Structure 1
Amino acid sequence: MLGKVFVWLFRIATGLVVLTVIAVALIYWFASRSLPEYDKVIEVPGLSAPVEIVRDNANVPHIFGETDEDVLFGLGYAHAQDRLWQMLTMRWTVQGRLSEVFGLRTLRIDRQMRRLDLYTVARQAIDYQDAESMAKFRAYAAGVNARLEEVNTDALGRGAPELFLFNAPVAPWTPTDTLAMGKLMALQLSGHLSNEVLRARASLALEDPARLPDIMPDAPGAGIAALPEYAALFPGLPRYAQGLGLPDDPLSPFNPTPLAGASNAFAAAPSRSASGGTLLANDPHLGFSAPAIWYLARLELQSGGVIGGTIPGIPSVLTGRSERLGWGLTSSYLDDQDVHIEALNPSNPNEYQTPEGFKEFESRGTIVRIKDGDPVTMTLRRTENGPVLSGNDYNLATITPPGHVATVSWTALDPEDRSLAAGIRLMSAPNITEALSVMEDYTAPSQNLTLVDRDTIAMKMIGRMPARDPAHASQGRMPTQGWLAENRWQGYLPYAENPEFRSPVGGILGNTNNKLVDRPFPNHVSFLWGDTQRVHRWQRLMQSREVHTRDSFIEAQLDTVSFTARSLLPLVGKDLWFTGEAAPEGTPERLRQRALELLAGWNGEMNEHLPEPLIYSAWLRALQHRLIQDELGPLANEFTHVEPVFLERVYRNIDGAGDWCDIQQSSPVETCTDIARMALDDALIWIDETYGDALESLRWGDAHQATHDHPILGEIAVLKHFVNIRQSTSGGDNTLLRGKTKGTLPDPFLNVHGAGYRGVYDFADPNSSVFVTSTGQSGHFLSRHYDDLSQLWRRGEYVPMSLDEELARAANEGITILRPAP
C-alpha cells in the first residue's frame, strides 16, 4: 500500500514538473514572439522612398532616408520596435486612462491627470503647429503605426510581452499623442506647485515666521525676498493638517520637488580645450526605470547626421550633436507654476470670484473607465487662472479655506505651444545663432540649453517666462488670492529677457541647476533653484585645469566627491571630534567614537565601497529630523531630503537659526552640539538595526542601489528578478555623479533619480564623442539589449557616438529596410 502511495505521489510530482516546464515554455514562446527582428525587408505604407535602419553593435539605430519625413518615419518604427510598452504606458498616463489597464490602483493618478487635462491641451496645440512640423509629426506617427500593423499582421506577440498580461486595445499613434509626450515631460520636471504648497504648510506650522527661510532657504546670494505669512493671506487655517500628498505608485508622473528634474551640462571654448575644438558634456537626470526613458539614435537628415538621446514618442534628438552643433539640457527651475485660491460664490457654487465679479466655471464631464470596476464620472472645471484641482492633489486641502478651491497657472497648459516643433528644427541648425533663434517658439518645460558649435559656446534659458505684477502677494512662492488682479499672470516676458550667456571670457560655461542670475522680482526667473551644492565642486574641477579634454569632462561627469560633506561635517561635528576619553568597547559612546574616527579621515568621496558615506548620510538625515520635528510636527516627515543650506544656517546661527537646536517640548536648553551628538547616536542605532554594527565593513553601495525597476512587472514576485536592474552605485544627492536618494523609509538611500543618459562631445574630433544610457536600447526583458549598457553605465564607461556610417555597419546587429508599399 505504501508503495502505491509513493508511486502516485511520484507521478503527481512528475506531472506537476512537466506541466510547469510546459507552462514556462509556452510563456517564453509567446513572450519571445514580440522580440524584434532587426535583419529584414518589409513593405510599409506612408513612405516616399526606402528607409534603411542599421543597428550598430550597441543596438543604436542609424536611420537613412531620402527625406527628413522618411527618416522620422524610421525613428517612429524603431521606437515602436523597442519601446512599444513604454510608449503606450506614457500615452495612457497623459490621457488619464491607466485605470482601463491596471484597475483601481491607478484611479487617483487618472483623476489628477484628468483635472490637469494635458491631453486636451495637446489636442488644441495641433492648431498652432506649422505645416512643415505637422508633416514630420504625421510621418513619425505613420512609422509607429507601421510597426503596429506589422505586429497585428504577423502575430508578433502583440509587440510587447506586457500586453499578454494586460490585454488592452492599442489605438494608432497620432500627432496629438506626440505633443502630449511633451506635456508629460513638463509634468515630470515640474516642482514649483508642490513647493508652493509645502511652503504654505510650513508657514502655517511655524510659530516664528522668521524661521521659514531657514528650512526652505533661497539659494545663497542677494535678492532674497520677504514673504507674507500664509495665515495672513487666509486666516483661520489649522496649524497642522494632514493631506494625501502625491500618488505613491511607480506609474505616477507626479514628483515631489526633490525628485523633479535636474541635470549637469558644461562646455569649453577652444581656448580652454587641449584639442583646440569646443567640448560639451551633458547628463540629464530623471527617475530611474527599466527600460530607461532615453533611447539612443542617429538620424541622417537632409542637413546632415544627428545623433544622441531621444525619448520614445518624440521625433527628435533632445540632447546630442550634429557635425556642426552640439546641445545639452538642464532643468532651469524657472518659476512656471502659480497656485491660486479661488473664492466660490456663496449663493452659487458654480461661480468663482474674479476682479470683475463672479463668473461661471468652464465645465465638462468626463468618465474614467476602470478595469474590473464601475466607471467613475468626473466634472472638470476651469477658471481664467487655470484648471481646478482637487483638495486631494498636492495636499491642497491642507491650505485651502472652506468655500474656496485651488487652481494652477502653468506654462505647459498653454495650447499655443510649439516646443516639439522647435526641437525638430534645432537638429538642423547650422550654428548657435540659428539654434537660439529657432528656440524662441519653445514654451515648456523650461530648460537651460547649452550649445557649442565649432568655435563658440553659449547657454540660454528656453521656455516662456510668466509676467507677474510687481505687487504679487507672494511673488509666486505661495498660493495667493486668485480674484486679485495683481496675483494673476499678465502674459509672458519677451524671449530676449531669458538669461543668455555667450562666449564668456573665461571660456567655460556650465549649469548644475544652480542659481544663474540674481535679478529683482518679477524678472527674477526663480526663487527656487535645484542646486546650491554641486556647482561648487564643478567650479573647482573646471578651474583646476588650464585646458580640458574629452577625458577630463568625463572625469567631471563621474566625480563622486561631495562638497556638502566636506563643508558640513567640520561644522556639525566641530565639538565632537577628539573630545573625551576613550570609551569601553561595546558601549554606545565607543561606537560613536569609531564613527567619528572614520569620518575624520574621510575626504568626502561618496564611493560605493566605503562605509563613511553611509554613516555621514544617516547622521545628517537624523540631524535634520531632530532639528525640525518639534517645530513642524507631523509636517517634518515631508522634508524627506537633507537641505544643506538649512544645516549651515543652523550651525552658523545665521539670522538666529541656531534656535532650531533647542527642543521646545523639553525643559533643558539643548545646544547644537547636543543635537548633533544625539542625531549621530540615532543614525548609528538605525545602521546597527539595518546593516549591523561592524562600521568598517559597511558599504555605501549596499544602501545606495540604483533602482532601474520595471514600473509594473517589477512588482511581481518572480518576474521582478528578471526585469528589475539593481546596481551598487557611488555618488549621492550632492555629487556631480548625482544619485538622488529616495528619502523615505524603509530604504531612504536607494538611488532613484540620476543620469539616465550621459554624453561627452569633442568638436575637434566629433566621432570620438561618446554616450551611454543607464539600461539598454530594448524594452523587452528577453532581449540581450535590455540591460547590456547598464554595466557600462555603472562603471562609468561609454559607447562610441559616431556618425561614421561604415563604423555603424561593421559588426551590425541587423539592417532593416522599409520599402514603400505599392
Structure 2
Amino acid sequence: MARIFKWLLRIATGAVVLFVAATVLVWYFASRSLLDYDGTYAVAGLDAPVDIVRDNAAVPHIFGASDDDVFFALGYAHAQDRLWQMTMLRRTVQGRLSELFGTRTLPIDTLLRRLDLYGLAVSSVAAQDAPTTAMLTAYSAGVNAWLAEINEGSRGRGAPEMWVFNAPIAPWQPADSIAILKLLALQLSGQASAEVLRARTSLIVSPERLADILPDDPTSGIAALPEYAALIGDVPRYAANTRGPSDALSPVKPFDLAGASNAWAAGITRSATGSTLLASDPHLGLTAPTVWYLARLQLQSGDVIGATVPGLPIVLSGRSADLGWGITSGYVDDQDLFIEEVNPDDPNQYRTPDGWADFRSRNSIVTVKDASAVTLTLRWTDNGPVLPPEVYDVGTVTPPGHVASLSWTALRGDDTSASAAMGMMRSLTIEQAIAAAEGYIAPAQNLTLADRTDIAMKTIGSIPLRDAAHQSMGRLPSYGYLPQNRWSAMTPYADNPEFLAPEGGIVGNTNNKTVDRPFPNHVSFLWGDTQRINRWRLLMQSRQVHTRDSFIEAQLDTVSFTARALLPLMGADLWFTGDAAADGTPERRRQIALTLLANWNGEMNEHLPEPLIYAAWLRALQDRLTRDELGPLSAEFTRADPVFVERVFRDVDGAAVWCDVIQSAPVETCTDISRQALDDALIWIGETYGTNLETLRWGDAHQATHDHPTLGTVPVLQWFVNIRQSTSGGDHTLMRGRTTGTGPDPFLNVHAAGYRGVYDFADPDSSVFVTATGQSGHFLSRYYDNLGELWRRGEYIPMSLDPDLARAAALGTTRLQPTEAQ
C-alpha cells in the first residue's frame, strides 16, 4: 500500500511540475510580445520625429510635424496594441480564415469570396482623393514598420495568438483599410436576413397575422404586401433551415444584432453651458478586446480625438476643438435579394429582362488547414453576387431551378467612403462635414454633429431608389428578371434625411424611424428601435436645458419604457388575484413574482430580481404566443417584439387570436396564456437560479460577454482572455445590453455600446469617453481590461486635447525617428 501511495505521490508531483513548467513556458513566450511604451525606434518612411505619448489609460496621443507622419504613427500604434485583431479582420474580409482554423470557418470564407469585398476594396483604392491616398499609404507604412520591428527585435511574433495560429503576416496595404470599412458595412447590414425571415413567415401565416408578428413601426402607414407564395412559386411552406451553426468569427449577423447605437445633441438654447453638447455610443457585438481603440491625432487641420477601429485610420466617432460627431446605424434598406431563374438548358445562364445571359464567373481556391483546398466557382449576375443557400437561410425561400443574388450598396469597386470619412474628420463646421459626407457609400449611418454654435443630423450613405411598381417594395426576395424589381438609381444625396439647427434645440437617434415617407422614397420599412426613443424623448424634454452630466445620465439610463408599457397588459387580470396559497406552491411563487413586479419602476438594475422575472416572463410569453402558429420557425424569433405583444393584448386588428392555441379544443384567452407563461418563467428561473425570488440578481443572467473570438473557448486559456461582467440595462434601455435570446443563457449581454463619448463645447477638455475593455489586445497586459470596470460602472476618462495634460501623467513615450537621424 505504501508503495502504491509513493507512486501516486510521484505521479501527482510530476503532473504539478509539468503543469507549472507548461504555464511558465506559455507565459514566457506570450510575454515576449508585451509592450514597453517607452522607447525610441528608427523607422523608414518618416519625414521627421513623431512622439506617441500613452496617457495613464494607454490612449496614444500622437504628435508629428505632418499628417503623413501622424498617420504613420497611428498605424504603428494600432499594430503595437492590436496586431492580432487587425490581421483577423483582414483575413476575414479576404476569405482566408480557413488557413488557420480549418473547415470550421469554410462557410465564412465561402461567403466573403463570393461577395468579393476585398477585390472591390482593391479597385476602390484608385477612387480615393489625394489626401486619403496619402493617409492610407502612410498608415500602411506605419503598420509595416512595426512588423519589421517584430521580425528584427524578437517581439514574440507580435501577439500571443501568433504562437497558437502561426502564419506569415503580409505587409499592410491601403486596400486592407478600405476592406475593413466594407467588413464593418457587412456587420451592420441586416436587411437581407430580414427579407428572408419575412418571406419564410409569410409562407405560414396570413397577411393579417404577418403584420402582427413582424410589425411595421406603429407610426407608419404601409400598404399590405403580397403573399410570398404568390410572388415566388414552388417554395415549400415549411422549409427547413439551411444555414449552419453560428460562429463567433462570422461577420454576418441577424437583423436584430446587425447594428445599433445612440447619439444626440443639444443646441445653445437647450444647453446650460453656453455652447453645444453631443453624446455618442455606437453598439456592436462585444468582444475582447473591443473593436474600438481610442486615439488622439495632431493634424494640420486641427487635432482630433475619439474612437478608431484598428486597421482603419479614421476617428469614426469623436471630436476636434470645434466639431463633434457621432454615428448611429441608419437602417437604410440598402440590400435586396433577387431570385434568379437558371436556364434549364444551360446552368451557366440566368434570365434577365432581355433574355438569357451568362453568369460572370471565376474560380477561387480556398486553402484549408488540415484538409484539401476547396475550389469555388464565384458567380455574379447584373444584380450582384450569387449567394450560397445557407447565407441568411436564403435557400429556404429559393425555389428549384433558381439561385439567389444580392444587391447591396457596398458592392462597388469605386467606393469613396474612406475619403468621405477622412473629409468629415478634417471638417471644422457642420456644413463642411455634411458636404464631405456626400461621397460616403456604406454602411449607411445617421451622422449627428455639433459645432460650437449649431447641431444637426444627416443620414449618410447610398439609398437605393426603387421602382414604384416593385413587386414587394424591397421587403421580400423578388424575381431578378423583372425590370420593375431592379434598382433604378440612387437617391440624390440632398434627399437623404437631414435635420439642421432644429427649432426645438435637440436632435438625436436611437435607431428609431427618422422620416415617414411613402414608398419608394421611404428610406426603410424596418427600423432598429420603437422603444428606446420613448425614454429618450422623456429624458430630453423633462428639463429645459442640459449639461454634460445630464447627457451622461441619459446615456447610462436603465429604465425600460417597454417594461412599464407591457407589464400592465401582461398582468392586467393577474395582479393581486387568486386564492391564498401555501409557501412553496406554484401559486404562491406566482403571487410573490406579481407583487414584486407591481412595485417595480422598470429599472433594469443588475442588483434587482424584477428585471429577471420580467425578462423570463416576456420570453416565455413570446414562445406561448407563437409556437403553435409558427412551429419550428418560432425559434427564429429569439426576442419578443414589444409592438407584437402590445398588438396581441390590445387586440389590434384581431391580434388577440394569437392567444388561442389552435391545436387545442378550448379557446384560450390572453389571460390564460399570460398566467401559463409566468409559470413557465418561474419554473425556468427556479431550475436555473433558485426558487428564492427576492434574492435573484439580473446581473447574474445579464453578464456582458467580452469573449475572445479565437481563444475564448480554449480550456484554461478562456479564464485569461474572456472578460465577463455583471451589467444593468437590457434589450430596450438607453444603456442597451442586447441579449442572446437563445441557448441555456438567453439573457447574456452580447451587443452593447463598446464606446461612449460625451462632448461639451463650452469646455471641450471636460469631454469624456470610455471603451468596454482596454487599449491593448494582449491578455497579459494590464491595459487589456483596465477600462472595462469603468465602463461597467458607467464611468469615463477625460477627452482632452491639451498636450501638457497628456504628457504630465504619461505611461511612456514611444519616439519614432527617421532612419536618417540615426
Range into which the TM-score falls when normalised by the shorter chain:
over 0.9
Match for 2:187: what amino acid? Q
Match for 1:168: what amino acid? A
Match for 1:507: what amino acid? G
1:199 aligns with 2:202: no
Please list, as runs of the form range in 1=range in 2, the aligned pairs for 1:763-802 lying within 5 A after superposition: 763-802=761-800
Match for 1:526: what amino acid? S
Partner Cα distance (1:152, 1:722) in 2: 26
Partner Cα distance (2:248, 2:807) in 1: 38
Pairwise CA distance, 1:158: 0.4
Offset from partner CA, 1:190-223 (integer Å, 9 cap, x none)? 11000000000000011x2211011101111133
Partner Cα distance (2:116, 2:436) in 1: 28
Q: Which residue is 2:646 aligned to?
A: 648
Pairwise CA distance, 1:758: 0.2
CA distance 1:269–1:246, change in 2 (3 Å): farther
Match for 2:232: what amino acid? F
Partner Cα distance (2:325, 2:408) in 1: 26
Partner Cα distance (2:689, 2:762) in 1: 49
Offset from partner CA, 1:674-710 (integer Å, 9 cap, x none)? 1111111111111111111111111000000000011
Partner Cα distance (2:609, 2:597) in 1: 9
Aligned pair partner of 2:569 in 568, 571, 574 = 571
Q: Which residue is 2:548 aligned to?
A: 550
Match for 2:428: what amino acid? P
Partner Cα distance (2:668, 2:593) in 1: 22
Q: Which residue is 2:661 aligned to?
A: 663
Please list, as runs of the form range in 1=range in 2, the aligned pairs for 1:618-637 lying within 5 A after superposition: 618-637=616-635
Match for 1:278: what amino acid? T
Q: Which residue is 2:590 aligned to?
A: 592
1:492 aligns with 2:490: yes
Aligned pair partner of 1:421 in 411, 419, 422 = 419
Contact 2:331/2:527, CA 8 A, preserved across alignment? yes
Offset from partner CA, 1:5-51 (integer Å, 9 cap, x none)? 66565555444433333322221111111011210110111111111
Pairwise CA distance, 1:252: 1.0
Q: Which residue is 1:277 aligned to?
A: 275
SS of match in other structure, 2:295:
strand
SS of match in other structure, 1:137:
helix
Pairwise CA distance, 1:738: 0.1
Partner Cα distance (2:224, 2:66) in 1: 56
CA distance 1:7–1:671, change in 2 (3 Å): closer
Q: Which residue is 1:676 aligned to?
A: 674
SS of match in other structure, 1:318:
strand
TM-score, normalisation: structure 1: 0.99
Partner Cα distance (1:707, 1:744) in 2: 14
Contact 1:334/1:446, CA 8 A, preserved across alignment? yes
Q: Which residue is 1:220 aligned to?
A: 218
Contact 1:109/1:252, CA 8 A, preserved across alignment? yes
SS of match in other structure, 1:713:
coil
Partner Cα distance (1:523, 1:247) in 2: 37
Partner Cα distance (2:235, 2:296) in 1: 55
Partner Cα distance (1:674, 1:436) in 2: 54
Partner Cα distance (1:8, 1:515) in 2: 72
Pairwise CA distance, 1:95: 0.7
Partner Cα distance (1:580, 1:302) in 2: 72
Contact 2:242/2:396, CA 8 A, preserved across alignment? no
SS of match in other structure, 1:52:
strand
Pairwise CA distance, 1:113: 1.4
Partner Cα distance (1:329, 1:810) in 2: 32
Q: Which residue is 1:334 aligned to?
A: 332
Offset from partner CA, 1:306-351 (integer Å, 9 cap, x none)? 0000000101100000001000000010000000000111111110
SS of match in other structure, 1:289:
coil
CA RMSD of aligned residues (A): 1.1
Aligned pair partner of 1:473 in 471, 474, 483 = 471
Q: Which residue is 2:77 aligned to?
A: 78
Partner Cα distance (2:389, 2:26) in 1: 44
Partner Cα distance (2:484, 2:190) in 1: 23
Match for 2:141: what amino acid? A
Contact 2:128/2:418, CA 8 A, preserved across alignment? no
Partner Cα distance (1:248, 1:458) in 2: 38
Offset from partner CA, 1:432-486 (integer Å, 9 cap, x none)? 0000000000000000000000000000000011111000111011100100000
Offset from partner CA, 1:765-797 (integer Å, 9 cap, x none)? 000000000000000000000000000000000
Residue range with higher mean Cα deviation, 231-240 or 327-336: 231-240
Contact 2:323/2:452, CA 8 A, preserved across alignment? yes
Partner Cα distance (1:510, 1:733) in 2: 19
Match for 1:78: what amino acid? A
Partner Cα distance (1:11, 1:357) in 2: 80
Match for 1:502: what amino acid? L
Partner Cα distance (1:594, 1:777) in 2: 45
Offset from partner CA, 1:571-628 (integer Å, 9 cap, x none)? 1110111222222222211111111111000000000000100000000111111111
Pairwise CA distance, 1:247: 4.5
Match for 1:811: what amino acid? A
CA distance 1:588–1:15, change in 2 (3 Å): closer
Partner Cα distance (1:733, 1:585) in 2: 33
SS of match in other structure, 1:386:
coil
Please list, as runs of the form range in 1=range in 2, the aligned pairs for 1:342-361 lying within 5 A after superposition: 342-361=340-359
SS of match in other structure, 1:89:
helix
Q: Which residue is 1:252 aligned to?
A: 250
Q: Which residue is 1:108 aligned to?
A: 107
Please list, as runs of the form range in 1=range in 2, the aligned pairs for 1:61-210 lying within 5 A after superposition: 61-206=60-205, 208-210=206-208
Q: Which residue is 2:461 aligned to?
A: 463
Contact 2:234/2:400, CA 8 A, preserved across alignment? no
SS of match in other structure, 2:602:
coil
CA distance 1:696–1:119, change in 2 (3 Å): same
Contact 1:247/1:254, CA 8 A, preserved across alignment? no
Match for 2:579: what amino acid? E
Partner Cα distance (1:674, 1:743) in 2: 24
Q: How many residue pairs align between the two structures?
A: 820
Match for 1:567: what amino acid? A
Q: Which residue is 2:687 aligned to?
A: 689
Contact 1:188/1:261, CA 8 A, preserved across alignment? yes
Residue range with higher mean Cα deviation, 731-740 or 237-246: 237-246
1:17 aligns with 2:16: yes
Partner Cα distance (1:110, 1:303) in 2: 40
Partner Cα distance (1:251, 1:101) in 2: 12
Contact 1:262/1:286, CA 8 A, preserved across alignment? yes
Residue range with higher mean Cα deviation, 125-134 or 13-22: 13-22
1:286 aligns with 2:284: yes
Aligned pair partner of 2:430 in 429, 432, 436 = 432
Contact 2:323/2:427, CA 8 A, preserved across alignment? yes
Partner Cα distance (1:482, 1:180) in 2: 27
Pairwise CA distance, 1:751: 0.2
TM-score, normalisation: structure 2: 0.99
Contact 1:108/1:247, CA 8 A, preserved across alignment? no
Match for 2:725: what amino acid? Q
Match for 2:468: what amino acid? P
1:229 aligns with 2:227: yes
Partner Cα distance (2:580, 2:275) in 1: 58
Instruction: Name the % identity.
Output: 67
Partner Cα distance (2:300, 2:452) in 1: 20
CA distance 1:690–1:49, change in 2 (3 Å): same
1:57 aligns with 2:56: yes
SS of match in other structure, 2:426:
coil
